[in-house]
A = this chain, B = another copy of it.
Amino acid sequence: MSWLEQSIMARKGVAGGKAGQTHSITEAEQGKYHYVYSAFSEPVLRVDPGAVIVAETHDAFEGAIQNETDKPSEILNFPYLNPQNGPIYINGAQKGDCLAVYIHSVVPRGPQPRGTTVIMPEFGGLVPTADTALLTAPLPEKVRKLNVDKDEGIVWNDRITLPYEPFIGTIGTAPEIEAISSLVPDYYGGNMDLPDVAPGAVVYLPVNTEGAYLFLGDCHAAQGDGELCGVAVEHPTVTTVQVDLIKGWTIRSPRLENDTFYMTVGSSRPMEDAARGAYRELIRWLAADFGFDEIDAYMLLTQCGRIRLGNMVDPKYTLGASILKSIAGSPR
């Protein structure tokens, strides 16, 4: 029996973690992609828990950067960046519920070179930005176009080929009353850029408003911890996810489960606040559902907690805090 059948999604989901009807969102069906997370937009789909959704995602630049001679600062039109599929309205979802999203697969699409990474002004972890506003001149802009193949990986140069390790960079639900740029990660998910949001994982998202309004996009073919220059290997994909709904499970921020660990996600600035947020939620989860005393969980995570840095470049930094299932035991 797969771990998935014992997942929280399977045990508590309205659909019991079982796949239901399949829906597609092709580029044509999506039509206009979205640049904010909000319930102001008309849903592109309305689905029941259990629905499987096959979405054609764009890369973060909506395919606008085609050549290594392109200048991102001339081509890109802020804030119309990081286009998102959706919103997907989940029938029955209400504020205070939890939306489970099991990631089936992320598969590259489109003509080669499909992969794009760039250096652009005022963006990145080791340059002055709009937030860390300094006087020194920006680095020269640079575009790398890369062949990305599911099996053969990502060809960096003659010597280096990186494995294809795709994940969903941006995924989340709508805030209750806000419409927030898809460049931002926060309590509802969004632009977390966390490599664990990968095929084989279940992401748990807070439902903030009726219908949940799921958005997703910004798939990465590979990414190091922190997404250092701000732009992973961006690529268009066919991404397949399955949704389920856990009624009455109110979580403050995204959580994740895969075959080996439970994770909580924190997004904030400075980075220590993202770490604090993630770890506090993990402690509260261990206390609420796994039978730990809160202080004991605090001391235990001191010895075995794991941190994954998602991004150190977005308007909020994102970290995941996790504990092995073998240590945490089973949630009630």
Residues of A within 8 A of B (CB): 35-36, 38, 40, 79-80, 117, 119, 124-128, 130-140, 142, 144, 154, 156, 159-160, 162, 176-181, 187, 222-233, 252, 266, 268-273, 275-277, 279-281, 283, 294-295, 298-307, 309, 312, 317, 327, 329
Please classify the interface of chain A as helix (H, G, I), strand (E, B), loop, or mixed, using the class held by over half of its residues.
loop
When the two chains form their complex, are residues A125 and B276 in contact, meaning their CB atoms are under 8 A apart? yes
Instruction: State whether A275 and B312 are in contact (beta carbons under 8 Å apart), knowing that A135-B127, A299-B119 are contacts in the complex.
Output: yes
CB-defined contacts of A302 to chain B, threshold 8 Å: 117, 223-224, 226-232
CA–CA, A36 to B178, complex, Å? 7
Which single member of B140, B272, B301 contacts A317 (CB below 8 Å)?
Answer: B272
When the two chains form their complex, are residues A299 and B117 in contact, meaning their CB atoms are under 8 A apart? yes
CB-defined contacts of A309 to chain B, threshold 8 Å: 275, 307, 309
When the two chains form their complex, are residues A232 and B303 in contact, meaning their CB atoms are under 8 A apart? yes
When the two chains form their complex, are residues A280 and B181 in contact, meaning their CB atoms are under 8 A apart? no
When the two chains form their complex, are residues B305 and A225 in contact, meaning their CB atoms are under 8 A apart? yes
When the two chains form their complex, are residues A295 and B119 in contact, meaning their CB atoms are under 8 A apart? yes
When the two chains form their complex, are residues A128 and B133 in contact, meaning their CB atoms are under 8 A apart? no
Instruction: State whether A303 and B272 are in contact (beta carbons under 8 Å apart), knowing that A136-B127, A298-B228 are contacts in the complex.
Output: no
Could you show 23 A-B contacts with beta carbons less than 8 Å apart?
Answer: A36-B178, A40-B179, A79-B177, A119-B298, A126-B276, A127-B136, A131-B273, A132-B273, A132-B276, A135-B139, A135-B294, A136-B136, A160-B300, A160-B327, A162-B304, A177-B181, A178-B181, A180-B180, A224-B302, A225-B305, A233-B303, A270-B272, A271-B271
When the two chains form their complex, are residues A269 and B270 in contact, meaning their CB atoms are under 8 A apart? yes
Closest to A38 in B: B179
**Beyond A79-B178, A135-B139, A232-B302, 11 extra complex contacts between A and B, CB < 8 Å:** A40-B40, A124-B298, A126-B280, A128-B134, A133-B280, A139-B295, A142-B295, A178-B178, A226-B275, A269-B270, A269-B273
When the two chains form their complex, are residues A299 and B159 in contact, meaning their CB atoms are under 8 A apart? no
CB-defined contacts of A272 to chain B, threshold 8 Å: 125, 269-271, 312, 317
When the two chains form their complex, are residues A298 and B133 in contact, meaning their CB atoms are under 8 A apart? no
When the two chains form their complex, are residues A299 and B229 in contact, meaning their CB atoms are under 8 A apart? yes
Instruction: State whether A126 and B117 are in contact (beta carbons under 8 Å apart), knowing that A35-B177, A156-B300, A224-B303 are contacts in the complex.
Output: no
Which single member of B139, B269, B279, B317 contacts A228 (CB below 8 Å)?
Answer: B279
Closest to A117 in B: B299
When the two chains form their complex, are residues A223 and B303 in contact, meaning their CB atoms are under 8 A apart? yes
Closest to A309 in B: B307
Shortest Cβ distance from A45 into chain B, in angstroms?
A: 22
